[in-house]
Structure 1
Amino acid sequence: MQIVERWHEDFEVGETRRTTGRTITEADVVLHAGQSGDFFPHHMDAEWASTQPFGRRIAHGTLIISVAVGMTASDINPQAMSYGYDRVRFIRPVFIGDTITVTAELTGIRDHPKQPARHGFLDETVTVTNQHQETVLVLTHVYLTNRRPAS
């Protein structure tokens, strides 16, 4: 990873990052079930899942969020940190063996309501697609940023 120092004023709406693909594996699903405690049959029971509308097991939505956000975390910026996630939507299921890619576009820049001279917020729309270019997940990643100190 690279350390890149960018202050609130250095960002522009429309900046876009795209990742390479990442295939979701059986090991990913099993490990996530163990870490999260979510052993629901939708994820873990192939026989049961075969009787359901999707016909096979689906990856945990929270797994896909974790992987997707991790795929976009290529730089360390000491002037920004994750503040949270808004408007998370699971559009389509992700199956074991699907390959996901992520596009992150800066869609909003705003002042911090209580400390506008010191901080701001960035909204990054994160769109996850599968190997068929179908959107499977959309969320807004909110970053808290530092403003450049007055000289």
Structure 2
Amino acid sequence: MQEHTITPSALPIAIAIPAERRAIARMFTELTLAFHATIFPIDQPPTEVDANLALVAVAVMLGHADGLPMNASQIAAYVQMPRSTVLKRLSVLLERGLILRIKDKYYLEPVRAATVPHLDRFTLILSKGFAVLGPYLSEL
């Protein structure tokens, strides 16, 4: 993304903590894209970004990582989506072989559970974001 040359103080409407907000917004956007990319094989470019698909996949991973795998209703409540929407996204993830359903609970498939696709990308996103946010957070 190209940096704009206008300084935040020159904008017609002032914005508080602009560097920190930019860092958070960039982290959110880049992490969403990175999580979406993990839904596809590493050598295959991702299709159009479906943030809800990425969100459901991340919820499955969180439940699995927490040792508390979730069913579709729990995932829907967690991501604040209708259960029918979550079921459609889970169906896509199951079809792609990214997750498994065992006794109504969802898990990452074993290879995905044992590895972290695009780990270098996640590390770079977080390190860039926290380089900006670290000083601000230490003041809180």
- TM-score bracket, normalised by the shorter chain, equals under 0.3
* Bigger share in helix: 2
TM (norm. structure 1) is 0.26
Q: Work out which structure has the larger RCO, using CA pairs closer than 8 Å and 6 or more positions apart in sequence.
A: 1
TM (norm. structure 2) is 0.28
